[in-house]
Amino acid sequence: EIVMTQSPLSLPVTPGEPASISCRSNQSLLYRNGNKYLDWYVQKPGQSPQLLIYLGSNRASGVPDRFTASGSGTDFTLKISRVEAEDVGTYYCMQSLETPFTFGPGTKVDIK
Amino acid sequence: QVKLVQSGAEVKKPGTSVKLSCKASGYTLAYNTLHWVRQAPGQGLEWMGWIGGGSGDTRYSQRFQDRVSITRSMSENSAYLELSSLRYEDTAVYYCARHVSAALDLWGQGTVVTVSS
């Protein structure tokens, strides 16, 4: 199965400052159709996970434009341009290239 | 309003089975693949399997291959996850999620399953 890793696992942030989370896979998530099968989710405290980014770099409906994502076949990054208090939560990357779908261990973002 | 509504919390004894439901509202469940993901207390997310849109074929994680079954009812517009031979480590929140554009775009509220003697 595809193994996903994330760093850091914990990220204290200052409101208004940028933040960045890295996600890596042990094999390429780039499919022959040109899509990168990597998604980002956030799970806010006490809530279900919610989709942030799909296919590597596409913001889901309603996601603020302070969230951007990019990546190659195996290395991906989620960036928050200016963190807000409501961004607190655990961020997961997930590969949807092949089953079993696998998640990264999560990055817990909290306010300093 | 488009949503997935899951059944209520369950408490089960080890060795027994549990069947959870996930009801779609505002859309036809069979049009999209539906996944099940679980989260043990304080842990990350773990994919369990899916039931495909259209044909209703299924795919399971090898980790649960012999113990899990995902089904659906067109008349109820619902999907079901049955997990058998429950162990203490199956204590978790179980989520259903809709698959659209290679991502899980809509999640249920989760069902807490507690395995306890």
| DSSP per-residue codes, B21-36 | EEEEESS-GGGSEEEE
Q: Which of A65, A77, A101, A85 is nearest to A12 (CA)?
A: A85
A→B contacts (Cβ < 8 Å), by residue, are 35, 37, 39, 41, 43, 48-51, 54-55, 58, 60, 90, 92, 94, 96, 99-106
Report the first-to-last Cα separation within chain B, whole angstroms. 39
**A28 CA: distance to closest CA in chain B (Å):** 16
- For B87, the token pair is 């162990």
Residue A96: predicted pLDDT? 96
Beta strand extents in chain A (DSSP E only): 4-7, 10-13, 19-25, 38-43, 50-54, 58-59, 67-71, 75-80, 89-95, 102-103, 107-111
Residue-wise pLDDT tens digits, A30-69:
999 999 999 999 999 999 999 999 999 999 999 999 999 9
C-alpha B65/C-alpha B48 separation (Å) is 9
Query: Which residue positions in chain B have pLDDT lower than 50?
Result: none
Instruction: Provide, as residue numbers in chain A, all residues whose Cβ is less than 8 Å from the Cβ of B61.
Output: 99-100
Residue-wise pLDDT tens digits, A77-101:
999 999 999 999 999 999 999 999 9
Report the first-to-last Cα separation within chain A, whole angstroms. 36
A75 CB-near residues (< 8 Å, 6+ apart): A22, A23, A24
Out of B35, B102, B110, the one facing A48 most closely (by C-beta) is B110
**A17 CA: distance to closest CA in chain B (Å):** 26
Residue A4: predicted pLDDT? 98
- For A87, the token pair is 């961004």
Across residues A15-33, what is the average pLDDT?
A: 97
Instruction: Provide, as residue numbers in chain B, all residues whose Cβ is less than 8 Å from the Cβ of A58.
Output: 101
Which of B101, B106, B111, B112 would you mutate first to test chain A, the one with the most A CBs within 10 A?
B101
Residue B101: predicted pLDDT? 83
C-alpha A55/C-alpha B100 separation (Å) is 11
What's the pLDDT band for A102 if we cut at 50, 70, 90?
A: very high
The number of angstroms, rounded, from the C-alpha of A106 to the middle of its chain's C-alpha atoms is 9
Residue B10: predicted pLDDT? 98
Residue B65: predicted pLDDT? 77
- For A50, the token pair is 């919610």
**Binary contact (B103, A104; C-beta < 8 A):** no
**B26 CA: distance to closest CA in chain A (Å):** 17
Residue-wise pLDDT tens digits, B72-86:
999 999 999 999 999
| DSSP per-residue codes, B20-86 | EEEEEESS-GGGSEEEEEEE-TT---EEEEEE-SSS--EEE-GGGTTTEEEEEETTTTEEEEEE-S-
- For B77, the token pair is 């517009």
**Binary contact (B45, A106; C-beta < 8 A):** yes
Q: How many CA atoms does the CB half-sphere of B57 hold within 13 Å?
A: 2
**Binary contact (B101, A50; C-beta < 8 A):** no
